[in-house]
A = this chain, B = another copy of it.
Amino acid sequence: MPAATLTPVFAALGDDTRWAILARLGEAPASASALAREFPISRQAIVKHLDLLSSAGLVESERVGRELVHRALGGRLSDVARELERIGRQWDSRLARIKRLAEEF
Chain B residue nearest to A95 (CB atoms) is B71
A7 to chain B, nearest CB (A): 5
A77 engages B91 (CB within 8 Å):
yes
**Is A28 at the interface (CB under 8 A from chain B)?**
yes
Shortest A54–chain B CB gap in Å is 15
Q: Which residues of B contact A94 (CB under 8 A)?
A: 26-28
In this complex, how many residues of chain A approach chain B with their Cβ under 8 Å: the count is 44
Set B20, B78, B87: member contacting A88, Cβ < 8 A: B78
Instruction: Determine if A57 is an interface residue (Cβ-Cβ < 8 Å).
Output: no
- Do the beta carbons of B98 and A89 come within 8 Å of each other? no
- Residues in chain B near residue A83, CB distance under 8 A: 81
The listed residue (B29, B72, B88) touching A75 by CB distance below 8 A is B88
The 5 closest A-B pairs by CB, nearest first: A74-B91, A77-B88, A11-B14, A10-B14, A74-B92
Given contacts A26-B87, A75-B88, A77-B85, 16 further A-B contacts (CB under 8 A): A7-B15, A9-B14, A14-B14, A23-B87, A26-B91, A28-B95, A29-B95, A72-B91, A73-B91, A74-B91, A74-B95, A76-B88, A77-B84, A77-B88, A81-B84, A82-B85
